[in-house]
Amino acid sequence: MSRRNTIAIARIVEETPTIRTFYFDYDLQAKPGQFIMLTDLANGEKPFSISECESDQFGVTIKKLGKFTSNLFEKQAGDLLSFRGAYGSSFSLKGNNILLTGGGYATPPLYYLCKELLRKGAQVTVVNGARTRDDLVFCERFENLGLEYKKITDAGCFGRAGTSVDIARELLSNNDYDMVYVSGPELMMKAMRELLQSYPGLNYEFLFERYMKCAIGICGNCTMDPLGIRLCVEGPVLAGHQVEKLTEFGEYHRNAAGKKEYFK
């Protein structure tokens, strides 16, 4: 198990009324796609993907959803939080002409990936979609990278109603990408998988989210059927050849008690 670190929040950036990025002055040495286990030392522990990571600072972007995250939103810069990690697999950083497709508050990990790909000299196109304007994050950050960037919401906030999958479909039909990376809600990623099946031979990787307790592969709560992949160890980033074999993908996940909960 990684050593636990308890440090002060360096700063907090309000992305939208319900989404904030928490920064910590610490050399995490994480790779794009990895996550940490974060706690306020009073209300349990939850996994969060890393959205930014430099030699002296890292950040995690969090949406206010329940009791745990509501408690985090009460915190201010200077308050103490504790974390362990980084954990899990990371994006491969392969490809020269790359499409990144994100959905909602799951998009921020693609920002860290995007910066690393650009450092390697890759050509990157980013699609950022969400249900509403308040769920669309990191727009200015991506735009400031000087790449091809497209945004869209279900509500049509920018003139067109649709999803990131709709934009990705158009881009894939008109461009010769050699790698696709995706992070978003599972049903959105299921739609992306169906789209990518029309492009045999095109490599892709998905960043998954599941309920995690231990983060070190012991409890089995984040195991996916039928491969037995532990998302906290072999994931949360999975390659396309693995994704294609997952029977539970887009069908169900498991709650804290391990019971199946089907997607609606």
3-state DSSP assignment of residue 144: coil
Ranges of beta strands (E only) in 131-178 are 148-153
* Among 207, 163, 203, 165, CA closest to 182: 207
Cβ(105)–Cβ(127) under 8 Å? no
* Beta-strand relationship, 97-103 and 179-183: parallel
Please check whether the two domains, 5-87 and 97-262, share a CATH topology.
Answer: no
pLDDT digits (tens, 9 = 90+) for 195-235: 999 999 999 999 998 888 888 888 888 888 898 889 999 99
CA distance 255 to 185: 16
3-state DSSP assignment of residue 108: helix
pLDDT digits (tens, 9 = 90+) for 13-44: 999 999 999 999 999 999 999 999 999 988 88
CA distance 125 to 64: 28
Average pLDDT value over all residues in the chain: 92
In terms of CATH architecture, what is 97-262? 3-Layer(aba) Sandwich (3.40)
Cβ(103)–Cβ(185) under 8 Å? yes
Q: Looking at residue 254, what DSSP letter applies? A: E
Task: Map out the domains of the chain as residue ranges.
Answer: 5-87, 97-262
**Class (C level, CATH) for 5-87:** mainly beta
Q: Look at the pTM and tell me if it is higher than 0.85.
A: yes
Bridge partners, 224 (sequence order):
229
